[in-house]
Copies of this chain bind each other. A is one copy, B any other.
């Protein structure tokens, strides 16, 4: 069903995107302010289904590339989407019909709302990940064989790049390096495709999902947060407890590390270890994998019920760790090749875990 993004539902969308960030992807809140202003000036953004669009229409997946921490301190002009759309029209020899978030999780679930409003274009109810991944090749379109190239990049300050890479891994690497050159972060459009091609190459329904999730979360503390992810994502609680060990290393782009949560209350005596690489990737208990990427692992602060980004997690914090099954595309062989535990260097096979995914995701 088609609906609009407007001043009333943007905050709920942002809350949903924060959970789907699985600990990474940047804070969507700044994006809310930008989108509110763009919507005030240009009107609400229609969210449309692929089924409602002409099959020859051109879809532009877009978002930011680079370090989210820099992005949150950067002034976006808001024109980046229009610059990318003009580049895309030249590259694909025709008008862009709709924008799509390439990543629903984190700040990238919001930034394209601003761009869509300012371009006067609809946003597709879909994205390329159904969550957050740090690699630009970790996209459903990649799994479906849609090439990332040509990739359009701009810093919104008159610098643009078009890159055509020999494969999607090179595209991801070159785009990441270009973002670094452009000051740490830039706007990107890639995986350009027709609506017909998109139909079996994207994760559909994820704007609706994030909105439903954000609405259910409601800001009502940890109980309602847990109830919301159980209900909307089919999540299970892995542990409630306290961060008793935290090890982190990395640079401005990547944060590696692990966190140990010591159970409290009913979980007293138990310990869960989280492995992270920007996103929360794996949860171990007693040497057994309790959940692993592409499962969506999310850590909530017990005192506020808000999801916590991996880089702001701190020693002593009281948390609830939940896990939900990720989109089906990631559990296919090609999907696991791109985003399974081994893609991140862990010598672990992905298997759906007891509990996680026992309830069907809405």
B-binding residues in A (CB < 8 A) = 157-166, 170, 173-174, 177-178, 180-182
Contacts and interface: CB of A to CB of B under 8 A. Distances in A.
Which of A159, A166, A178 has the largest count of B CB atoms less than 10 A from its CB? A159
A165 B181 CA distance: 12
Contacts of A174: 159, 161, 178, 181-182
A325 to B, nearest CB: 35
Contact of A159 (B159, B163, B180): B163
A181 B176 CA distance: 9
Contacts of A161: 161-164, 174, 178
Which of A158, A161, A165, A180 has the largest count of B CB atoms less than 10 A from its CB? A161
A86 to B, nearest CB: 12
Contacts of A181: 173-174, 177-178
Contacts of A159: 163-166, 170, 174
Contacts of A178: 161, 174, 177-178, 181
28 contacts: A158-B164, A158-B165, A158-B166, A159-B163, A159-B164, A159-B165, A159-B166, A159-B170, A159-B174, A160-B163, A160-B164, A161-B161, A161-B162, A161-B163, A161-B164, A161-B174, A161-B178, A162-B162, A162-B163, A173-B181, A174-B178, A174-B181, A174-B182, A177-B177, A177-B178, A177-B180, A177-B181, A178-B181
Which of A157, A174, A177, A182 has the largest count of B CB atoms less than 10 A from its CB? A174
A133 B174 CA distance: 26
A157 B166 contact: yes
Contacts of A158: 164-166
A157 B174 CA distance: 13
10 closest residue pairs by CB, A with B? A158-B166, A177-B181, A162-B162, A161-B163, A160-B164, A159-B165, A174-B181, A159-B166, A159-B170, A161-B161
A277 to B, nearest CB: 21
A284 B163 CA distance: 45
Contacts of A160: 163-164
